[in-house]
Structures are given as C-alpha cells and as structure tokens.
Amino acid sequence: MTDSNNSSKPDFSIWSLEKIRRLFEEKFDKERESYKEKRPNILVVGFTGSGKTTLCQKIFGDEIVPDGEVGWEGEPKTKNFKFYENDFVGVWDSRGMELNEGLDSFKDSLRAFIDERNSQPNVDDHIHLVWLTVQGCGGRLDPKAEGDLFHNILDPKRTFLVITKSDITKDRQKEGLLKVATEKIGIPEKQIVFVSERDDDPGVLDLIRRSHELLPEAYKMAFVEAQMRDVEMKREQILGKNAKAKALIVAASAAAATICAAPIPIASSTILVPTQIGLIASLAALYDVGSGAALKQSALPLVARVAGMWAASELSKLIPGLGSVISATVGSSLTIALGWYVQKQFEAIALANAEGREPPEPFFDWNEFLNFRKNFRQ
C-alpha cells in the first residue's frame, strides 16, 4: 500500500468510505473469482414422458427449469437437446426417444451429440454425469435400447439408471425392472435409483448423494450448491469451509505481526487497515457462494466500522492497557479475534441461505467484539 505509511501523522482522510469500499470490493471480486467452482454438466436421456424435465426441476429448482418446460417435447430435427444453466450446473435435457422413432437414428444423434460435447478442448464443457431415465409404471427396459445406450453410447462409469415415477409404480414392477437392469443389462446396483416427484421422496436424495460421489472431484462443490434438495449436504459444505477460513485468518494475523514487528505507534494504527479489510473480503468471498455476491453489499457497513476501529483514539479507549504502541502480539491477536468474529457471522449467513431462511445482517458491535475476544483467548 503506497498510501499507508508509518509516519506519526497518518492521513485519516485516506480512509474515506469510498476508499474502503473500493479496497473491499476489489479484494472480494478477486477472491471470489479464485473460489469459483467448476460447474458440472449433466445429461438427462430417456423416452419422452419418462420424467426427465420433472426430475431436473425437482433437483435444481424452478429458476433453472421453468414450469413450462415440463412436458416439452422439443422441436423435432432442429433442437434435440435443451441446455439449462446457472452458475453451478449445466443440464442437457434431451428431447427424448420416441416410441415411433427409429431407435438407431436416436442412438446416432445421441452419439454425435456426446462426441461433439466431449471433443470440446476444455474438459469443463464435457458431459460429466448422465441420468438415463425409464419410467417405473408401465416402463420397459430393453437390452437393445437402454442396455446399448448404457454400455456403448453413454459412459457406463458415469451413468445412473434412474427409474422414475416410483410413487405410482407397484413394487412388483420395481422388482422386475431391477432384475432386468442388473441381470440382463449388467448395470451395477449402486447405479440404479428409484425416484419420484414427491417432495418427501428419499430416492431423489439418494440420487443426489450418489451423483455427488461419482462426479469428478473438481465439480463436486458446485454440484452441492446447484442441488436444492439435500440441505444437510449444503450445511456440511459450509461448515467444511472452516479450515480455509482458519488459513486466511492465520495468514492475515501473520501479516499484521510483520507490520508490527517493530511496534508501531498507536497513532499510526491505520496502517493495519488494509490487512483487516483484505481479510474480511476474503472471508466474505469464501462464504458468499450461493448468495450471488450479496455479502459484497451487506458486509460494507461492518467493514467501515472495522476500519474505524483502527483509529488510534478508538483503540486506546476500548482496549485498556494498550499503551502507546501496537506490538506484533497485539496486532496479530486482534486480527485473529476479528477474523473469527467475522467468520462466525458469514458462516451463519451462508447457513441461513442454504436453509432458505432470511439471513442475518452482518454487523460490528464493539462490546460484543471485545467480549468475543476475551472469551476467545481463553
């Protein structure tokens, strides 16, 4: 920072709200970009009416798959695959096989489509997972149709056989389909799932968990964000960010210790402000996922108050016995406490978003912070 210096007369005007905002937002954008998850592409194939679009909508929500799409049968010959996408997932919803359509021509067009996708230079554009749907009630499984698709056209290691409409499928039908799928077609049982559109359907959660397992590592995080049904999975992912948050806090506190290696006069304490803003921005970016950069706006008042905290008069008033200099120990311990104080709030906001609750507003309260710091050090 060229405009932060160690002179005994710091220029407080440099910490205008505008400057704080710019510093925070620049760092936030940069960090957010580095956390940008790779988005998986999922292909959904099966007979028209087997419930492909309904399944996509149930799992990824009606913002990505609008109601009007259910029952969509494509525009024959011009558009066989419809692409739904958001920041976290791409879904190729196929027009579907028609009973009266030659199976061979369907297979040819599917093969051509998959070849075209998987020959894209960037692997992020390839197909990473396939859901092959067959409807349970009155559905048939044909080794020449689904069997050939599963083994020879789709990637058998990345494909699930999804038997739909289990709410209106008799157990006898399910057993029959399972038997054909495993014995005649040779699909591993762990790649066969029964689902229905019912909100309390456990099969959908099963499909989500197993799909998550099967996806290449790089695409797992975004998949967790994309799916709307397994809230526990989202919670686990958010709570799992603790380790990364800790690394960010430790790095910032080390930076603060370095700045204060030769204790800095308390009058120059604003020299620590960029480190603090940077830390808050990194934490906000880490926990922002899923809230569409909402934290970038809502955290600003908190950031401004934290910047204000480093004004000399504030510090010595509020931290009794601080003395006239900030030592490396004080600089780094304040940074650590601040980091966890902020992390706790951002984590709570992310959890609320994941659970569909109204997220709390980030705020900075001096007394609460000092209390937090006191307890935190014990």
Ligand X SMILES: Nc1nc2c(ncn2[C@@H]2O[C@H](COP(=O)(O)OP(=O)(O)O)[C@@H](O)[C@H]2O)c(=O)[nH]1
Distance CA 233, CA 205 (A): 10
Distance CA 149, CA 97 (A): 11
Scan residues 79-108 and list those touching ligand X (CB under 6 A).
96
Strand partners, 325: 265
Distance CA 378, CA 372 (A): 10
Scan residues 182-201 and list those touching ligand X (CB under 6 A).
196-197
Please report how close the Cβ of residue 302 comes to ligand X at its closest, in angstroms.
44
- The CA distances from residue 285 to 98, 251, 333, in Å, are 46, 16, 23
Residues in contact with Mg ion, counted by CB under 5 A, come to a total of 3
Please report how close the Cβ of residue 164 comes to ligand X at its closest, in angstroms.
5
| Piece in contact with ligand X (CB under 6 A), picked from 41-49, 109-117, 253-261, 322-330 | 41-49
Nearer to ligand X, 196 or 332 (CB): 196
Short-list 280, 269, 260, CA closest to 317: 269
Please report how close the Cβ of residue 197 comes to Mg ion at its closest, in angstroms.
13
| Piece in contact with ligand X (CB under 6 A), picked from 45-53, 184-192, 251-259, 269-277 | 45-53
Site string for Mg ion, 42-71 (x = CB under 5 A): ----------xx------------------
Nearer to Mg ion, 164 or 270 (CB): 164
Nearer to Mg ion, 106 or 287 (CB): 106
| Piece in contact with ligand X (CB under 6 A), picked from 49-57, 242-250, 290-298, 314-322 | 49-57
Distance CA 354, CA 351 (A): 5
Strand partners, 43: 92, 130
Q: Which does 136 bind (CB under 5 to 8 A by kind): ligand X, Mg ion, none?
A: none
Q: Which residue, chain included where needed, has tokens 């990473």?
A: 128
Please report how close the Cβ of residue 53 comes to Mg ion at its closest, in angstroms.
3
Q: What is the dihedral of CA 286, 290, 294, 299, to 10 degrees?
A: -30
| Identity of the residue numbered 239 | L
Nearer to Mg ion, 66 or 240 (CB): 66
Instruction: Examine residue 159 and tell whether it contacts Mg ion (CB under 5 A).
Output: no
For residue 273, what are the contacts with CB-CB under 8 A and spacing of at least 6? 4, 15, 20, 307, 310
Distance CA 298, CA 361 (A): 7
Sole binder of ligand X in the list 17, 112, 168, 247 (CB under 6 A): 168
Query: DSSP E strands: which ranges in 24-169?
Result: 41-46, 81-85, 90-94, 129-135, 159-164
- Residue ranges of alpha helices (H) inside 73-170 are 103-118, 148
Sole binder of ligand X in the list 26, 66, 71, 344 (CB under 6 A): 71
Nearer to ligand X, 45 or 127 (CB): 45
Instruction: Examine residue 139 and tell whether it contacts ligand X (CB under 6 A).
Output: no
Q: Where does this chain bind Mg ion (CB under 5 A)?
A: 52-53, 72
Query: Given the rule CB under 6 A, which residues bind ligand X?
Result: 46, 48-54, 70-71, 96, 164-165, 167-168, 196-197
